[in-house]
Amino acid sequence: MSLILLDGTTPPMDAAALGALGADLKKDAQATWAPLRTLQKHIDGQLLRTWMPENVDAEYKDLLRKSASPWLGFARDAIAQGCIVSGYTNTDIWERAWRANGMDGRQDVVTRDAVGFGRGFVAVLPGSDGDSVVMRPMSALDTYAVYADPWDEYPEYVLHRRRPRAAGKPFWQGDWMLIDSEGIYRFKGTPDTPVEMTFESHGMNFAPVVGVSNTLDATPISSIADKVPVYKRIVDGTFTLQMLQRYGAFPQKWMAGGEVDPGVRSSVDGLLHASGEAGETARFGAFPAADLDKAVSALDAHIKHFSAVVQVPPHYLLGAVVNMSAEGIAAAEAGYHRNLSARKKSIGEGYELAMRTAAAMLGESAAAASTTDQVEWENVSSWSLSQVSDFVQKMETITGPLEPLFRMVPGWTKKDAEDAAKAAREMRSASSPGELANLIQSIYLGVGKVLSSEEAREIANRAGAGLRGELEQITPASGGDAGTAPVETAGQPTTTP
């Protein structure tokens, strides 16, 4: 087995020592990944170990297979989509670490793992030029981290499969990476028999892999894992509805007495006839069709129950919003946003640690030690634009700072809010109220109209200038022909004592 050193130093472990450590990690990693793989199948909407009667036909199996849907995945995504990091108070680290690595989009992988599995992982590794870092999500299905203490910030060892598992190959065969407090080992083969091993020092005294946790318990708790039984009830309700649609949506015929030729096959629109002497005593009838509305109502009840336990609004799942007021929607989403608030507190701690780790790797010691820098979250509240506009206008007259207010506009990022606040400040400083009034006067004089003070004030206020006291002393110019006088002289306001 060959060993290649990337930085000219002697690695702490040779291939034999790395294989011995990999053998120890292998068993525990398998025990950790097995339930996560099962949970992922449930999230994807697959049916596992489902009971079926003996001798069922293909049609029954087909209906059962169609009854599964990725409800758990939808609930996980609905929670993860409400926890989107859109900024960091240290803008330098934000640009050099987060934005430079495309984490605006890659964060989705980590957050989904955190919500679904309880913990996601972010690797913070040295860049190629010595003045940059590489931040990458590491799938929880392929990453096993060993913590000496559950409350440690960083793990002792991290075993990670670098590439997706190749179909048709043994589970443990592939490309691997092991990270410890000394450096990064990359190798092929299996964790207990590494080949083609390389080593790279990361320069930290800890393994620079951050766990982003869904909760801050000693063992992070998934928002999805304990909801599987409720999801299975939805599958049962869907299957019942499928069976009723296929076999019970039309009257079922029955016959008592008489004989029917065994070669005759009954059909929905067929007519049975009993001939011969036995036919004189034959009686025919039909059972009523099944009530599909009751099956649909039962299925809706299961979905609403599922909505309650995952704290996702029922209209997100059922798609039914009929004449709901803004207050009604806010009440329906109250539990969802309380859940998001709790998730952001724990998930945010992980992302902030990742940013501090990146700062340490970039040599920014002050930023690495800071406990006041925080991630900022995108606003996902269901507010209408008119509600936000009215709130911003009212709060702006009281508090003054525009950027935090503009952050409340639905769909606006931190950069959008900064640009809008900057433009608003520049507009304010460009003209005094009197100058703006003169400008308005001049514009209208150019088209042959002289404004009264009230008209100028109304136009300025509609434009957001908020003209008040100074405009009270401004009156339209007297004399002259507004339609022919030069703009710069014909309408110059005069002041009264």
Q: Which of 386, 464, 380 is nearest to 420 (CA)?
A: 464
- For 263, which DSSP code? T
Q: Which of 212, 185, 144 is nearest to 349 (CA)?
A: 212
Cα–Cα distance between 74 and 96 in angstroms, integer? 33
Res 442: pLDDT: 55
Tokens of 466: 């908020």
pTM above 0.85, yes or no: no
Tokens of 30: 């398998």
* Cα-Cα-Cα-Cα dihedral sign, residues 381, 385, 387, 390: positive
Could you tell me which residues come within 8 angstroms of residue 8 by beta carbon, excluding any fewer than 6 positions away?
none
Res 417: pLDDT: 75
Q: What is the mean pLDDT of each run of 10 residues along the chain (497 residues)?
A: 49 89 94 95 86 83 89 95 94 95 96 97 91 95 95 96 86 94 94 94 93 94 95 92 85 73 67 64 78 91 93 84 71 89 95 97 94 89 67 60 69 72 66 53 52 62 52 42 39 41
What's the Cα-to-Cα distance from 182 to each of 66, 264, 347, rounded to whole Å? Answer: 51, 80, 27
Hey, where are the domains in the chain?
1-49+58-256+279-382, 431-495
What's the Cα-to-Cα distance from 72 to each of 37, 81, 233, 319, rounded to whole Å? Answer: 14, 14, 12, 16
Burial of 406 (0-12, 13-18, 19+ CB in 10 A): buried
- Within 10 Å of residue 169's Cβ, how many Cβ atoms? 9
CB-CB contact of 116 with 152 (8 Å): no
Long-range contacts of 67-71 (CB under 8 A, 24+ apart): 67/235, 67/236, 67/238, 67/239, 67/242, 68/235, 68/238, 69/45, 69/234, 69/235, 69/238, 70/43, 70/44, 70/45, 71/45, 71/231, 71/234, 71/303, 71/306, 71/317
- For 214, which DSSP code? S
Cα–Cα distance between 450 and 11 in angstroms, integer? 84
Q: Which of 330, 16, 72 is nearest to 187 (CA)?
A: 16
Residue indicated by tokens 């870092």: 133
Beta-carbon-side half-sphere exposure of residue 155 (alpha carbons within 13 Å): 21
Tokens of 348: 């945010």
CB-CB contact of 135 with 103 (8 Å): yes
Burial of 439 (0-12, 13-18, 19+ CB in 10 A): middle
Cα–Cα distance between 68 and 294 in angstroms, integer? 20
What SS3 state is found at 29? helix
H helices, E strands: number in the chain: 17, 15
